[in-house]
């Protein structure tokens, strides 16, 4: 499977690592979503590098939350959503391994026939 869209060199490396972690449990239709996840992880790394350069990375000169922190939070939200999609978090793995509910013996719609 190849990444979709234009990724940085680092994002392509992340994409390949993600494929290895998924151990063949992804399909070619997942390439675009995996590419987006790789891009988000690359973006998070870039944001963290910029934050390291800031004197006060949490609050700007006006006392408001620093824009880099806002951007980082949004990127993390996206990463968490992608992790859930690919079963890469404990919560997602718990959901995917839960047994399917038993089929009812009688359809609940029977009484309306």
Where do the domains of the chain lie? 9-92
Give percent helix, percent strand, percent coil of the chain, each to the nearest 5.
60, 0, 35
Reading the chain (113 residues) residue by residue, the pLDDT tens digits are 777 778 889 898 888 888 887 776 666 657 778 888 999 999 999 999 999 998 888 888 888 888 999 999 999 999 999 888 877 777 776 776 545 545 556 655 565 55
CA–CA distance, 68 with 65 (Å, rounded to integer): 8
pLDDT of residue 98: 47
Stretch (H or E) spanning 20? helix 9-22
CA–CA distance, 60 with 71 (Å, rounded to integer): 14
pLDDT of residue 59: 87
CA–CA distance, 39 with 65 (Å, rounded to integer): 24
Exposure pattern of 5-17 as b/e (b: 16+ CB <10 Å)?
Answer: eebeeebbebbee
pLDDT of residue 103: 56
């Amino acid at each position: 499977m190849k990444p979709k869209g234009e990724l940085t060199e680092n994002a392509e490396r992340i994409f390949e690592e993600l494929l290895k972690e998924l151990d063949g449990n992804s399909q070619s239709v997942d390439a675009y979503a995996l590419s987006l996840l790789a891009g988000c992880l690359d973006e998070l790394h870039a944001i963290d590098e910029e934050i390291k350069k800031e004197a006060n990375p949490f609050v700007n000169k006006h006392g408001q939350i620093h824009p880099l922190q806002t951007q980082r939070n949004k990127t993390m939200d996206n990463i968490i959503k992608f992790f859930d999609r690919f079963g890469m978090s404990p919560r997602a793995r718990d959901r995917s391994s839960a047994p399917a509910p038993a089929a009812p013996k009688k359809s609940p719609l029977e009484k309306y026939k």
